[in-house]
Every structure is written in structure tokens, then in C-alpha cells.
Structure 1
Amino acid sequence: MTTNSPVHSPDYTADVVVLGAGPVGLAIANYLGQVGVQVLQIEKLDQLIDYPRAIGIDDESLRTVQAIGLVDEVLPHTTPWHAMRFLTPGGRCFADIQPMTDEFGWSRRNAFIQPQVDAVLHRGLARFANVKTLFSRDLVEFQQDEEGVSLRLNAPQDRMETVRARYLVACDGGNSLVRRTLGVSFEGKTAPNQWIVIDVANDPLGTPNVYLCCDPVRPYVSAALPHGVRRFEFMVMPGETEEELGKPENLRQLLAKVLPDPDRVELIRRRVYTHNARLAGQFRVKRVLLAGDAAHIMPVWQGQGYNSGMRDASNLAWKLALVVKGLAGEALLDTYEQERRDHAKAMIDLSVLAGHVLAPPRRWQGALRDGISWLLNYLPPVKRYFLEMRFKPMPRYAKGALVAEQGGKASPVGRMFIQPKVRTEAGDTVLLDDVIGSSFAIIAWGSDPLWGLSSAQVEAWRALGTRFIQVLPDVQLKAGCKVPEGVIRVGDSSGRLKEWFGRYPASIVLLRPDRFVAGVAIPQTLGQVGDQLLRALAAIPQARQQAPLASRVA
């Protein structure tokens, strides 16, 4: 990827520059790496961040990690089925969130320690010769034109380096230099209160799950994390400073609220945070795209800052790959903001609301909350609403890279598809995504997924790397029926796929690489729906594909 060209040539060229080696940048670089895109990842620091950060990873994010082939290495650093309990000052639990659903293949809420998982994602990049990471590089400036983006970097030993790429993905945090340079707005609010985070080894409490105590004097959080780590978070009160709170006697006073012996702890680290709720006015400016905290930041109370960033990565990476490979036009990149911005705002609003539940702006609001919650806890539908996390806005795309006019609000189009276990013809039981891989999929219940397509249509979908999958009740796999070449047969061993297809007047689903339903059909309408989707994807016939930049630069 480094060039030995004349003096005026860039030091590095790539198809995509990913600025920032946080989780979002790492996930994007891994996906692009595995599909053959030339990637240069640039990080300002000399190593990955290791201080206290996110502690909650959800099922959608684990599905993203699964898609880049690293979930087996990540799972040992998680605690599945992690409950969240809101407590009154007297210790009564008024909201017990224990989501036990696994419709996307994984536990809905999981505790984790972010630096450990980030390290897994970083090590994963070593699998790809087409991905290079540069640490200790500080972006000085960038410019873009009709063909690409040029960057200037401060490198070690006072060197200046230049980079040329077709696209820049800015994952450079809430204070994003790229966003500010572009003049993109970042509207929202900063919370008036800060919080001090204290991580402790050899968990002195040992109880599982996470507790949010709505103490009007000083609200706090107590969270069990993997590997025997306990996190405490306390609100910083007006007039207090990080330096003051960090003194041993003041730390002891904080921990005395939650521990019988605050002197017997093994402190890992402490850090003060400010909670912001902000959303970028645009996610794309020509060849530059914003993702993660550069595009949106939110309070931590629903654990959705990290997970919203991972949704950005899942949505953007496959679209960028298609455009770079010449399989889709640049218009496809417009659907990234079109699909992600509204949902990011919904998650910001949810996180702000959860913060107000934990620490109401007015004391009388806390008393009202406690009284109402006591009554609602006795209503089974309300309890289920909390237990199953139905209050969490699930991503649902009404327009974008999909066949938008299908079925209205009741349609599965624009929603994430389920991921049950299936049985292969070889007799193995695997999760559905392991059969699909990192590509599109056309999945047919019972029928031949090629039957409704012309040979030209089949070739158009194969050019995108599509997997054609026939799903049957698993007992039918033993019938040994012959299937067309290139069709994969799997058995519905749990009955969940049959139940899903039984809800809708459709027997075929067209899935995007991010596992969202892009269209539904029956065999007789598959060709028509498929052509509509290809147009929505701005798909380009195979003959017009372009070579990646890194292979075209002399």
C-alpha cells in the first residue's frame, strides 16, 4: 500500500481511509478488509485507548462482530443476559429490564469491557494484507475533489506524510476535526452534571447485573463486568472537581455508599465524564462520511453510544465496498444518512429520558416517578414492556436501499431479519448468518430461490456476491432432492423461519449484507422486486465495474 513513486506522489494510497481506531473504525476496516478493499486506518494515539469506556454491547453489535468473523474471540470478554435494574433511594426495584429474547442470534444485553473487545477487532486486521494501520499520526488537514481525498499527517520524528484515497470515513470522535473542518453542525445539549467512573478489580460485591440507584442526594451506578471487574459511577455535584474527587479520602467517601469496607478495594482507574446529546447535521459531504461519535453522541444510560456506532459501521461498510468496487453508484452512499440519522436521534432521546429517570431535574419528579412505578409494576403488560425492552426503538428504514413501497407499517421491509440456528446438508447446526457470509442473500421458504429470476437477473445478483438459499423443515433435508447449482439448502431446525414467513404474504426475502430486509416476494414476483431493489442500490452491471484505486495508481 506504500508507494515508491516520485517525490510529489503521496506516501500512501488506499481506496478508503478510516480515521480513528475506535470500535467503529475497526469494524469498518475489518469488513472492508475481508471483501478485498484497500484500507488505510489512521490513529492519532500511539496505541488503542485502554481507559474506562462502554460496558454494554447488544445483540445487533454482536451480529456485526459475527459478520466480520471475530465473534468467537469477543464472546469470552462478555457476560450475556445482563439485567438492568432501576432502584429507588430505599432500594426498591421499580424497573427490572431482563431481556431474554435472542431473535438476532445473541443475547439482547451483554456486559463487556470495551478495550478488550477493541483489541480483538484490532488484531483481526492482521488477517488482511490489504489493510494497514498507522498509529501516532495526527491529521493536519484534508481536501477533497471529484476523484478522491488528500490528507496531510503529522508523523513521528517531525515528519509530514501525505495520503490519497477515494473516500474518507471519519471516526475521529465527538470533537471530530473532520466534522468541524467541513462546517457540519453538531446540535444538542451538554448535561449540567458530570459523572466519575471508578473501575475496581476483584469485584468486592460480586453480585451480577447492573443497578442504577436513583438517589436524590447523589445518584450512582453499580455494574458487574466480565473478569471480576466492578464499575461504580457517581454523579459529580456542583463545585466538585476531578482532582478533588480523586483524593483517597473523597474516593473512600464515595465508595462507602456502596461497600461495607471502602478501604479494601483494588482500584484499576478512575475518570470523570461529561454526558452530551448531539447529532451531526449531515453524515456525508461528498467523499467524506462521518460515523460513530463524529456523527452522534449520547448519554450512557441505555448503553447505546457504542451500539449506535456499530450500527453505523454495519450500515456503511457494505455500501462503501460496493461503490469502491464499481458495483454500485455513489448515490448508494446517500442512503447511509437517510437510514441512520433518524434512528441515531431516537437513541439519543431514549438515553436522555433514561438519564432523567435516574436523576430527575426536580426532586418532586423523583417522588412522582417512584409512586407511578410502584403501581405500574403490578400491571403485567407494563412489566413485559420493560422486560422485553420494547421501549428501545429498533432500527426501521422506511426509505433508502430497499423496496420502500412494500406493505406499509406491517411489512418486514426495512427491519432486521431474524437469525435462528439452521441445519446444513452436512448435518452441522449453525447460525443463519454463518451460511450467508458477508454478502446479499435471497432466501426462499420451500421453493427454488432461482425459479422466479431470468438468467440475466441471476447474473446481476451473483455479481453482487449474493447467496441463494432454500429453507426447508429440517426433516426434508434427508429427502435428497436435487437443487440447482449454486443454491444452498438449510433445514429450519427450530421452526422460527417457518413462523417468520408465516406472518407475511411472502415466501422469499431479499437480505442486505447488514441483515436488513430489503424486499419480499413470492416466486412469481421475485424478478420484479429484485429489479426494483437493484435500482434502489444504484447497482451497476458487471461490465462497468472499476478497478480499485490502489491498483490503478502508478
Structure 2
Amino acid sequence: MTEQTEILIIGAGPTGLTLANLLGRRGIRTILIEARDKLIDYPRAVGIDDESLRAMQGLGLVDKVLEHTVPDQQIRIVNGAGKIIAGINPTTREFGWPRRNGFVQPLVDQILLEGAQRYDCVEVRLGAKATDVVQDADGVTVTVHSQGKDSSIRAEYLVGCEGGRSFTRQKLGIPFTGETRRQRGLVIDVANDPLGTPHAVFGGDPTRGYATLSLPHGIRRWEFMLLDGEDDDLINSDEFLHQLLRDHVAEPAELDVIRRRVYEHHARLADRFRDGRVLLAGDAAHVMPVVAGQGWNSCIRDALNLGWKLPAVVRGLADDRLLDTYAEERRDHVKAMIDLSVGMSKVVTNRSKVTSAVRDTAAAVIDRLPKLKSYVSGQGFKPMPKYTRGVVVPGKWPESKSVPIEDGVQPGTGTLFPQPHVRTADGEDVLLDDVTGDGWRIFVWNNNPEHFLSADSLAALTALDATLVHAVPATQLRWTAAHATPGVCVVGDASGMLKSWFHARPVSVAIVRPDHVIAAECLAQDLNRTLQKVFGSAYLLPADGTPLPAGSGPGTDSSHFVSSRKRELTS
């Protein structure tokens, strides 16, 4: 007998576990299978950024995750002589959390596993290996081997998240384009950190590049470049490890080594992220060198993108074409992250004394230019998500003599909406997402959103569990909350960040997706028309405002769409 589910996930790494949590929150029947009998228990990724912490916040797990982080971890880049040539120390909180954090991946992955197990609609099966995948127009059937027996699971959609050697990707014959650099690295993790300092060091030594990082709970990581002629088997030689570490600690033989592992610098991208009813995510879709610390975080971004699109399609709120936008949006950003990681890897592993001297000279020049130095220190080189295709409605700035536009102002559409601390009507000081939720949100500055929305639009927003947010200066909060329309969330801009965001742009409305990406922005009077365009781009509603019946493309009346779908969900 074939088991039935709505979504089947293969791979219990960070992508699959995060996606399982997101689907569980939205009530989607999900089975996650993992070939291993337990999660990987040795440290791998060592950096978690502010975007990922915001995702953990949305899952209700951030407090547990923070216990395993080093917040605001600085990076010092040094040359072969040990001189600091650059520093990376971003201290801003655009999204509510520190931008750079050391962390212990196995402990955080375990939190994600326990988080997924909170939901009755989610089942995680360890020791269950996928051995075949067959799809048709209506779904995907996966053969699973577990406890010596084969069984079948039938799902509406399958998401392959099983890492760089993805069975799903190989079964579908999807090319994994890119390179594996000849340069190898050796990772050494030790307990009872012999240094104890909180920062990270990247050593651009042409003799042998290295890095070392302080991790939570007394773990210290070193990564050393392996030279041509040095065999992988050298990792089993204590003498070789002691030789590498002699310039770093006084007594290498006294170190409590918990892991030693050789890795290669992969930079690969799947040619496509979707094949019919099968999607690839995380390392199954892309891998990158470890230097920029963006591999784990890129996995979380994939899960966030799919975590609202799959439920919308499965629940009949959006046409299947919405899933095509996943690859449209994520592939370009992942490619930028791969390029950044490759570039940083070349800086650290470069063996040319001439190139190293040029790098050191350039660093000295940057150090004398405050703006450029601040750009590097603030990690301004990190490519932020900016979607120009998919579920976004880029548009021209409004033509109004009452709304002047400053030179150099960039549209917010396609980027992430900020997350400041705000004040609630009860006087609490909280992060924005904690009061507005993690679904669709309509942020309107100093106006009640309901006044600018039609009955059809309000009905469709209700079906999407969207939140209408009326943002005001904190001084107006008490009065505004007392006169608020039921169902409209009023927040006081205690920090001034929301006002600054709107002040910098000739708009007063931001339509924000569940993954915090701004789908569109406009003036208040244009909200309803702009919302129809957003729904059209998401295959939720066509651009002319007529609602979209489930799965049929541009169609008829929204009240029919909403009520008929609710009957389906409750029957």
C-alpha cells in the first residue's frame, strides 16, 4: 500500500529541517526522510547570519538557537607576517539580529529537528533511504528502504535537500555545473579552546593560508590549506597536525581534537531547481567554498522561499506556476554568493608572494579611506537578496509634485523589509515580526490600510491569513490604537527606523511576502491596484483584480474563490 502525503522532503539537513518547520506551521502534511540513523554530530558550518536568525525567530526557535552562538563575531584578516590588514565587524541590526555570528551547527540542527516534531502534520523518519523517484502529472512516488523493507510514499510535491551528492538531482539527470578547485583544506576542531579569544582570524599567508574561529561551548576551529603533494592521509598523522598548529598554540600535543577532515572547495550550481513536481533546495541545488560562511545561510533562504509557496499551491490558493518563481528568485542570488565565496577563498588561499603584496598594499589604501574601510568592515560586499523577477512588481516611482525624490534613492522592491523594535498598543517593546507575524503583511505608514482596499482584496487577504499593519510614530500610538479598525495591527515606531525607511523613498506602503521580501511599494492611494499586480505575479489574483480560482490561472470572482476553497479545506 502506498502512503500519501502532501509534501515529501528528502534530507534532514538545515534546508529540509527548516522547510519541515515552515510547512508544519502552515498545517501542511509533510514527511521528511533521512538516510542516516541520526543527524550529523560534528561541527560543519560555523556562521549564522541575521537573516537566518530572523528565520529562526519566525519558527519560534531563536531563543534556543542563540544559546549556541557567538554574537557579533569579528573577523581579522592578517597577512603572512601576522599584521592585521582588514577587519570585518558589522554592528547594525537592520533585520533585528547581529549580522555575523559563530555557531555550532549540530546543536542548531537538533533544535530544528525537535521543532519539526512539534507538529502533528509533520513526521521525520531517520534511517529511511530514497531508492527511486517516479513522477507524473499529479504527483511523485518515492520508493523508500527502511529497516530492511521497501515501501512507497506518494506526495503532491517532492523537495530534494540531501546535499551535494543529491540522489534526487542525479536521478533526474540535472547537471551540477561549476568546478571543484584543486585547492584542498584541512579542518581541525578542538574542544577546550586553548586560545579562548572571541574573534575569527583569516590568515592570508602565501606559505600556507589558514583560518581560526572561536565557537560556542569552548570549541575552536582551525582550517589549513593543504599544499600540492600533501596526501589526504596526512590528517591521520598527529605529527602533521602538531606541525601545522605549532605557530598557533604552545603545546599542540595537549589539544583535545574532536574532528579532523579534508574538504574540497566546490563551487557548483544545478542547471535547474525544478523538474515538474520535484524541486531541489540547499546543497542539492548549490554548493560554495566555506570561506564566506554563506552555505548554511543560503540553505535557509531556499527553505524560506519554498516555505510559503508550497503551502499556497497545495492549499489551492495559488496556481502551480508560483513554484517556477522559486528558481527565478533564488538562482541569481545563490550565484552571487558562490562568486563571493570563490573570491574570498582566493584571497585566503593565494600562494603568490607578488599577489599577496598587491593585496596588502590595497588593504593599506582602504585603511586610509574611511568610507571604504567602513564598507568592508560593515560587510557591504555581501550580496543581499534583491529579486527583479518572480513575485515582485518593480515599478516607476509615483509621479507626484507632493512627493519629491532624492537623488540616489534605490527602490525597496525585491529586497528584505527591515525589522526594528516597535511598541505595541499594550506598551511592549518587541521585534516587528513578533507582533505582525510571518505571513503576508501590508505595511502602511500613518494610514489605516483598510481604507484603501476593496472588499474583494480584503477577502483574498483574509484567505491568505495576511496582516494589515498601521505604522505610526510612537507618540501617536495610544490614540491610533484606540481608534483602530478591528483586525488592523497598530505599531509604534519607537526606534524611528520605519519612518526613516519610508522617508528615504517616495512611498508610504510596502507589501511584504512571508519570506520578508518586499513584493511591491506604492503610495497609499495606489495600494489596491498595486496589490492586484502582486497577486497576479504570485498567480494568486490576476492584474485586473478578478480573483483566481484555485489552479486555473486568471479567472473569476474572489468571493467565490475564497468561500469555495474554505469549503474544500473544511470538508
Q: TM-score higher than 0.5 here? A: yes
> CA contact under 8 A between 1:18 and 1:170: conserved in structure 2?
yes
For 1:451-470, what aligned pairs fall within 5 Å after superposition? 451-470=451-470
> CA contact under 8 A between 1:220 and 1:232: conserved in structure 2?
yes
Say whether 1:271 aligns with 2:271.
Answer: no
- Amino acid of the structure 2 residue aligned with 1:460: A
Residue 432 of structure 1: aligned partner:
432
> CA contact under 8 A between 1:199 and 1:269: conserved in structure 2?
yes
How far apart in 2 are the matches of 1:362 and 1:402? 45
> CA contact under 8 A between 2:235 and 2:261: conserved in structure 1?
no
- Amino acid of the structure 2 residue aligned with 1:95: A
Paired residue secondary structure (1:65): helix
Q: Which deviations, in whole Å up to 9, do the C-alpha atoms of 1:305-347 show, x marking residues without a partner?
A: 1111111111111011100111111111011000000010000
Residue 551 of structure 2: aligned partner:
none
Residue 545 of structure 1: aligned partner:
565
For 1:318-397, what aligned pairs fall within 5 Å after superposition? 318-360=308-350, 362-397=352-387
**Structure 2 unmatched ranges of 5 or more:** 399-408, 541-547, 549-560
Q: C-alpha displacement at 1:244, in angstroms?
A: 2.1
- Amino acid of the structure 1 residue aligned with 2:525: Q
1:412 and 1:318, CA in 2 relative to 1: closer, same or farther beyond 3 A?
Answer: same
For 1:497-512, what aligned pairs fall within 5 Å after superposition? 497-512=498-513
Q: Which deviations, in whole Å up to 9, do the C-alpha atoms of 1:201-244 show, x marking residues without a partner?
A: 11101111110111112111110011111001111222223332
- Amino acid of the structure 2 residue aligned with 1:443: F
How far apart in 1 are the matches of 2:235 and 2:316? 55
2:208 maps to which of 218, 230, 238: 218
Higher RCO, 1 vs 2 (CA within 8 Å, ≥6 residues apart): 1
Residue 418 of structure 2: aligned partner:
418
For 1:111-130, what aligned pairs fall within 5 Å after superposition? 111-130=102-121
How far apart in 1 are the matches of 2:564 and 2:295? 39
Say whether 1:75 aligns with 2:66.
Answer: yes
Paired residue secondary structure (2:157): strand
- Amino acid of the structure 2 residue aligned with 1:311: R
Paired residue secondary structure (2:329): helix
Identity within the alignment, %? 44
RMSD of aligned alpha carbons = 1.6
How far apart in 2 are the matches of 1:391 and 1:438? 28
- Amino acid of the structure 1 residue aligned with 2:316: G
Q: C-alpha displacement at 1:131, in angstroms?
A: 0.2
For 1:473-488, what aligned pairs fall within 5 Å after superposition? 473-479=473-479, 481-488=482-489
- Amino acid of the structure 1 residue aligned with 2:13: G
Say whether 1:136 aligns with 2:141.
Answer: no
> CA contact under 8 A between 1:304 and 1:347: conserved in structure 2?
yes
- Amino acid of the structure 2 residue aligned with 1:123: E
Residue 231 of structure 1: aligned partner:
221
- Amino acid of the structure 2 residue aligned with 1:24: T
Say whether 1:87 aligns with 2:78.
Answer: yes
Residue 450 of structure 2: aligned partner:
450
- Amino acid of the structure 2 residue aligned with 1:419: Q
How far apart in 2 are the matches of 1:478 and 1:68? 30
How far apart in 2 are the matches of 1:159 and 1:132? 19
Q: C-alpha displacement at 1:547, in angstroms?
A: 8.7
Q: C-alpha displacement at 1:548, in angstroms?
A: 8.8
Paired residue secondary structure (1:411): coil
**What is the TM-score of this pair, normalised by structure 2?**
0.92
- Amino acid of the structure 2 residue aligned with 1:405: G
- Amino acid of the structure 1 residue aligned with 2:27: G
Residue 304 of structure 2: aligned partner:
314
Q: C-alpha displacement at 1:544, in angstroms?
A: 5.1
1:48 maps to which of 30, 39, 51: 39
How far apart in 2 are the matches of 1:484 and 1:546? 24
How far apart in 2 are the matches of 1:407 and 1:205? 53
Say whether 1:145 aligns with 2:136.
Answer: yes
Residue 255 of structure 1: aligned partner:
245
Say whether 1:535 aligns with 2:555.
Answer: no
Q: C-alpha displacement at 1:472, in angstroms?
A: 1.1
- Amino acid of the structure 2 residue aligned with 1:494: S
**Structure 1 unmatched ranges of 5 or more:** 1-8
Q: C-alpha displacement at 1:436, in angstroms?
A: 2.0
1:347 and 1:18, CA in 2 relative to 1: closer, same or farther beyond 3 A?
Answer: same
- Amino acid of the structure 2 residue aligned with 1:333: L
Say whether 1:521 aligns with 2:511.
Answer: no
**Which is further off, 241-250 or 488-497?**
241-250
Residue 403 of structure 1: aligned partner:
393
Paired residue secondary structure (2:438): coil
**Which is further off, 340-349 or 247-256?**
247-256
Q: C-alpha displacement at 1:251, in angstroms?
A: 1.5
**Which is further off, 109-118 or 180-189?**
180-189
Residue 553 of structure 2: aligned partner:
none
How far apart in 2 are the matches of 1:547 and 1:109? 46
Residue 472 of structure 1: aligned partner:
472
> CA contact under 8 A between 1:325 and 1:548: conserved in structure 2?
no
1:548 and 1:77, CA in 2 relative to 1: closer, same or farther beyond 3 A?
Answer: farther
Residue 441 of structure 1: aligned partner:
441
Paired residue secondary structure (1:160): strand
Paired residue secondary structure (2:465): coil
> CA contact under 8 A between 2:207 and 2:351: conserved in structure 1?
no
How far apart in 1 are the matches of 2:365 and 2:428? 49
**What is the TM-score of this pair, normalised by structure 1?**
0.95
> CA contact under 8 A between 2:8 and 2:31: conserved in structure 1?
yes
Q: Which deviations, in whole Å up to 9, do the C-alpha atoms of 1:246-271 show, x marking residues without a partner?
A: 22211111111211221221111211
Paired residue secondary structure (2:449): coil
> CA contact under 8 A between 2:191 and 2:218: conserved in structure 1?
yes
Paired residue secondary structure (1:456): helix
For 1:91-102, what aligned pairs fall within 5 Å after superposition? 91-102=82-93
- Amino acid of the structure 2 residue aligned with 1:99: P
Paired residue secondary structure (2:451): coil
Residue 4 of structure 1: aligned partner:
none
Say whether 1:23 aligns with 2:24.
Answer: no
Paired residue secondary structure (2:117): helix
